[in-house]
């Protein structure tokens, strides 16, 4: 109630000289309603009152703030339009719609749960109007309100006395008001004759329980253009993300791929880009029928024009007249009947023509569509090379290709070359060379202790030894590295560790050239070289 009083005070402040009398009048019942709704303590009532209060507040404030440009006096009361409207006629559907939060439409009676119809009908039944003259006796005098009892109290007459005529009027009006309101109930018929005329045969069927279509054919509206798959709300929309796996792709089927190809070449028209089951079935049926039709036509043609004329299509060399009359004439002339002439004709046929006619040669394509199918489409249906399948395997473009070499399929490779390649075996000359280098060092090495020899020393002697060793190693390594020179080149660390201990002093050019494998040795980063 505090809010109520605040509202009223607010209004009082704002009124001033302006006469809001009619506003008061209209609001007074509001106020009463507020009170009753508060007392009744319905939550909806409170909400409604608050809503109305807000309306009032807004209204009053808006009224106060009306200012004209010309800065006139406040004019006489400008009737501001009543704020809407708890419901309006929706412009889209033409139906009554609530202003706040339209709900979904209420389904019709067919969809109501059981018992709802009777409850609704009970709620819709009109209230009895009419005032009674008697009053209840609460069990004291049973039968006291019956008419005859009353009438017998005052001398009964054959016609109803005038006193009860007053009670008749409202009663009759009660019946009167009942009837028009109940005219909306389903089984009310005032004049059976007129309704019978206006009844279509559909309604008659429906009423009498004879078989009838679901919808009155006169009332029925034709089915509109179906919505596209984007518009259909139950359509599975494709997700924006790409497929995260190729297993999610569409599985190819002979029919669908064929139909897709046919649609691409323009032979048929599909509804979307992929043929649906219905379309697939439809076109399959059509193809079958066309084939049958064609076969029938061919047979009929054969019967019509005769075998010689028919098969002369595949015998290019036969130039003679093949009509029935010509054959007949020939027969009469030479006595060769049809079969003999046919054999004669076939003698002029070439092999290729024969194979085309019989259609047994797989090298000769027979299906015109299969001729026109693209490679990937063919691969989708029949698969690619079974040995080297390329379509069905997923290929990673970043993958390092596992190339085994041209003689990969050799069952046993050449072991010596293999070992040589991998540096497991060196040739005799190389070995001798290495051994020759190693001899000098061994003499020097015997001077020292074994323990000392084991120690890693960066002495001169050791350096030379290391140099020769490193040389030999470097040679081998260089040999090895030359195979994978890309690896060598891309990892500069390797190069550096080899290159640095080699320098005893400034090398001569020839030595450098001898040392280097090729000119690329000199392509090192010159920064790092001091």
Partner 1 sequence: MAISVPLHQPTYSFFSNPQEQWKWCAKPSYSFSNNSQNNIRPIKASVETPPFPLFQNPKLEETPADGLEPADPDFYKIGYVRSMRAYGVEFKEGPDGFGVFASKDIEPRRRARLVMQIPLELMLTIRQKLPWMFFPDIVPLGHPIFDIINSTDPETDWDLRLACLLLYAFDQDDNFWQLYGDFLPNADECTSLLLATEEDLMELQDPNLASTMREQQKRAREFWEKNWHSGVPLKIKRLAHDPERFIWAVSIAQSRCINMQVRIGALVQDANMLIPYADMLNHSFQPNCFFHWRFKDRMLEVMVNAGQHVRRGEEMTVNYMHGQMNDMLMQRYGFSSPVNPWNVIQFSGDARIHLDSFLSVFNISGLPEEYYHNSKISSDEESFIDGAVIAAARTLPTWSDGDVPLVPSIERKAVKELQEECRQMLAEFPTTSKQDQKMLDSMKEPRRTLEAAIKYRLHRKLFIDKVTKALDIYQDRILF
- Interaction site with partner 1 (CB under 8 A): 114-115, 118-119, 121-122, 125, 127-134, 136-139, 141-149, 152, 156, 158-160, 162, 164-165, 167-180, 182-183, 185, 187-192, 194, 207, 209
In the complex with partner 1, which residue's Cβ is closer, 171 or 441? 171
Helix boundaries (H) for 228-323: 254-265, 277-311
Q: How far is the CB of 97 from partner 1 (least distance, A)?
A: 24
Cα(5)–Cα(11) distance, integer angstroms = 10
Nearer to partner 1, 129 or 520 (CB): 129
Cα 122 from chain centroid?
A: 48
Q: Residue 37 or residue 177: which is nearer to partner 1 going by CB?
A: 177
CB of 43 to partner 1, least distance (A): 25
Q: Report in angstroms how near the CB of residue 184 gets to partner 1 at its nearest.
A: 10
Dihedral over Cα of 52, 56, 57, 61: its sign = positive
Q: Sign of the CA dihedral 316, 320, 322, 327?
A: negative
At closest approach, how far in Å is the CB of 171 from partner 1? 4
Residue 178: CB atoms within 10 A of its CB come to: 16
**CB 126 → partner 1: shortest distance, Å?**
9
**Identity of the residue, 104 or 123, whose beta carbon is nearer to partner 1 in the bound complex:** 123
Least separation in angstroms between residue 124's CB and partner 1 is: 10
How far is the C-alpha of 427 from the C-alpha of 476, rounded, in Å?
11
Tokens of 316: 């290019």
* CB burial string 191-215: b at 16+ within 10 A, e below: eeeeeeeeeeebeeebeeeeebeee
List, in order, residues 6 or more apart from 357 with CB less than 8 Å away: 311, 314, 349
Nearer to partner 1, 115 or 397 (CB): 115
Minimum CB separation of residue 211 from partner 1 in Å reads 13
Give the end-to-end CA distance of the chain in Å, rounded to a whole number. Answer: 96
Closer residue to partner 1, CB minimum distance, 10 or 112: 112
CB of 125 to partner 1, least distance (A): 5
CB 149 within 8 A of CB 133: no
Please identify, using beta-carbon distances, which residue of 191 and 240 lies nearer to partner 1.
191
Considering the complex, state which of residue 138 and residue 526 has its C-beta at the smaller distance from partner 1: 138
CB atoms < 10 A from the CB of 155, how many?
A: 7
Residue from 128, 130, 126, 125 nearest 171 by CA: 130
Residue matched to tokens 């050799």: 410
Quote the least distance from Cβ 109 to partner 1, whole Å.
14
Give min distance, CB of 210 to partner 1, in A: 11
Is residue 502 a contact partner of residue 496, using CB atoms and an 8 Å limit? no
Per DSSP, helices labelled H in 335-427 are 338-346, 351-358, 368-372, 375-382, 415-421
CA-to-CA distance for 88 and 458, rounded, in angstroms? Answer: 102
Contacts of 74 (CB under 8 A, 6+ apart): 18, 66
Contact 279, 270 (CB under 8 A): yes
CB nearer partner 1, residue 147 or residue 329: 147
| Beta carbon nearer to partner 1, 135 or 508 | 135
Residue with Cβ nearer partner 1 (119 or 316): 119
Q: Which among 502, 426, 468, 423 has a CA at the least distance from the CA of 521?
A: 502
Instruction: Give every CB contact of residue 516 below 8 A, 6+ residues apart in sequence.
Output: 522
Parallel/antiparallel/unpaired status of strands 96-98 and 87-89: antiparallel
Rounded least distance, CB 116 to partner 1, Å = 11
């Amino acid at each position: 109630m505090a809010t109520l009083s605040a509202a009223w005070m607010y209004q009082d402040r704002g009124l001033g000289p302006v006469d809001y009398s009619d506003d008061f009048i209209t609001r007074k019942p509001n106020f009463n309603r507020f009170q009753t709704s508060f007392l009744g303590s319905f939550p909806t009532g409170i909400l409604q009152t608050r809503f109305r209060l807000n309306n009032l507040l807004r209204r009053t404030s808006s009224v106060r703030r009306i200012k004209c440009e010309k800065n006139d006096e406040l004019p006489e009361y400008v009737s501001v339009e009543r704020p809407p409207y708890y419901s309006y006629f929706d412009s889209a559907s033409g139906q009554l719609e609530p202003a706040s939060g339209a709900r979904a439409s209420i389904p019709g009676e067919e969809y109501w749960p059981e018992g709802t119809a009777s409850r609704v009908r009970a709620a819709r039944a009109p209230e009895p109007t009419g005032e009674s003259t008697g009053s209840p006796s609460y069990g004291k005098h049973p039968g006291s309100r019956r008419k005859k009892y009353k009438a017998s109290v005052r001398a009964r007459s054959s016609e109803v006395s005038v006193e009860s005529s007053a009670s008749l009027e409202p009663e009759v009006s009660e019946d009167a008001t009942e009837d028009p309101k109940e005219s909306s109930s389903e089984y009310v018929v005032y004049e059976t004759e007129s309704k019978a005329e206006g009844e279509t045969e559909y309604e008659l069927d429906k009423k009498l329980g004879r078989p009838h279509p679901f919808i009155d054919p006169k009332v029925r509206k034709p089915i509109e253009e179906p919505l596209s798959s984007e518009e259909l709300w139950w359509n599975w929309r494709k997700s924006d993300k790409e497929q995260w796996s190729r297993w999610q792709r569409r599985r190819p089927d002979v029919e669908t791929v064929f139909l897709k190809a046919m649609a691409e070449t323009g032979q048929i028209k599909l509804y979307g880009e992929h043929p649906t089951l219905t379309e697939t079935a439809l076109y399959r049926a059509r193809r079958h029928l066309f084939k049958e039709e064609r076969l029938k036509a061919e047979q009929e043609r054969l019967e019509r024009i005769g075998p010689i004329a028919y098969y002369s299509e595949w015998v290019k060399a036969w130039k003679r007249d093949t009509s029935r009359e010509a054959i007949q004439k020939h027969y009469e002339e030479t006595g060769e009947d049809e079969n003999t002439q046919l054999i004669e004709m076939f003698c002029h046929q070439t092999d290729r023509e024969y194979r085309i006619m019989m259609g047994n040669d797989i090298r000769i394509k027979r299906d015109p569509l299969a001729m026109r199918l693209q490679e990937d489409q063919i691969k989708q249906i029949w698969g690619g090379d079974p040995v080297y399948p390329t379509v069905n395997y997923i290929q990673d473009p970043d993958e390092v290709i596992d190339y085994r070499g041209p003689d990969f399929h050799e069952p046993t490779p050449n072991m010596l070359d293999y070992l040589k390649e991998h540096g497991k075996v060196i040739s005799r000359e190389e070995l001798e060379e290495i051994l020759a280098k190693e001899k000098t060092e061994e003499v020097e090495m015997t001077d020292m202790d074994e323990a000392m020899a084991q120690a890693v020393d960066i002495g001169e002697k050791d350096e030379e030894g290391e140099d020769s060793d490193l040389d030999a190693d470097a040679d081998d390594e260089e040999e090895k590295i030359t195979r994978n020179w890309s690896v060598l080149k891309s990892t500069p660390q390797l190069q550096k560790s080899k290159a640095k201990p080699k320098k005893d002093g400034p090398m001569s050019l020839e030595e450098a050239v001898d040392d280097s494998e090729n000119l690329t040795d000199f392509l090192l980063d010159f920064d790092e070289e001091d």
